Amino acid sequence: MNKLTILFLFTILTLTGCNNAKQGYGDLNSKAKSYVLRDYDAYLEEDKISYNRSEPIGFQEVTFDTWGNEASTFKNNNGEFIESQVNKYDEKGKLIYRKSYFRLYGEEGTTAYQLIDQKKDTCFYSYYLNDLKKTEYIHKLVIKGKSKSHYVNNTLVSVEKKNKHNQIIEQIAYKSDGTPSRQCTYKYSGKLLIQENCGKDKTCNLPEHTYKYLKYDDRENWTFRATYKQGELEKVTEREIQY
């Protein structure tokens, strides 16, 4: 699959739904101004997780507006993938504009998404690559109970399910032929997210990953996560949250 196509599909999957106005500060359990993620290579030493805090391999910073929508994001994954993103919302918190600078596998440029129309639960966006309009597409969000389905040009791209506490318990991404591409499930203890399991991605050939959340702050937001690839410890992530 073309590298820019992968980036385009990833961004579509992360676009805000039309009637999903207020985002609620991502996966946080409370209001916050921003958070920073730092990734480190990790290994097991006598059954304990070890890593060098002086050598991060990845960095991400996310800021929020007063409604809890992601206002900006910066990512740097060991120099292999870099993205800087700015989002704009209307007075109801609906995404109306997103622009990103990216560097991916030696290629770089900008992408942008502009809301051009809306009818009930359907939004019409224009997509730009390096400031040139490439296409228009329809983004539709269908909510039935605790299940939320995203469609792009009438093709199902993802389904998200929540429990009675409004916590995400399952996310499924779909290929263009309508078959599942990747499934992620989530486990909680009260408000605490304790584990996330994601199967192999059949579209981008990503391997199976498990994320274990091991430390939390006094507001029950996770601050330390261990990532396992195909059962083997791969890295750890520290999260610093500014309230």
Band (pLDDT 50/70/90 cuts) for residue 195 is very high
Residues 35 and 242: beta-carbon distance below 8 Å: yes
Residue 204 has a pLDDT of: 73
Mean pLDDT, residues 221-228 taken together:
98
Question: Are 103 and 81 within 8 A, CB to CB?
Answer: yes
pTM of this structure: 0.87
Mean pLDDT of the chain: 88
The two tokens of residue 15 are 């676009």
Number of domains in the chain: 1
Q: Across residues 186-201, what is the average pLDDT?
A: 95
Query: Would you say residue 122 has pLDDT above 50?
Result: yes
Which residue range is the domain that position 77 belongs to?
A: 3-242
Is the pLDDT at 12 greater than 70, yes or no? Answer: no
Residue 103: name the closest of 94, 95, 111 by CA: 111
Half-sphere exposure of 120 (CA within 13 A, CB side): 3
CA distances, 218 to each of 53, 173, 189, 236 (Å):
23, 33, 15, 21
- Residue pLDDT, tens place only, 43-92: 999 989 999 999 999 999 999 998 899 999 999 998 788 999 999 998 87
Question: Sorting pLDDT into bands at 50, 70 and 90, what band is 5?
Answer: low
- CA triplet 184, 188, 190: central angle to 5 degrees? 155
- E strands, 130-217, are 132-144, 147-152, 155-162, 168-174, 180-189, 192-198, 209-216
Span 129-185, pLDDT tens digits: 899 998 898 988 898 999 999 998 999 999 999 999 989 999 999 998 889 999 999
Supply the pLDDT for residue 15.
54
What is the C-alpha to C-alpha distance for residues 208 and 206, in angstroms, rounded to an integer? 7
Q: Which residue has the tokens 């579509």?
A: 12
Q: Does pLDDT of 128 surpass 60?
A: yes
pLDDT at 21: 46
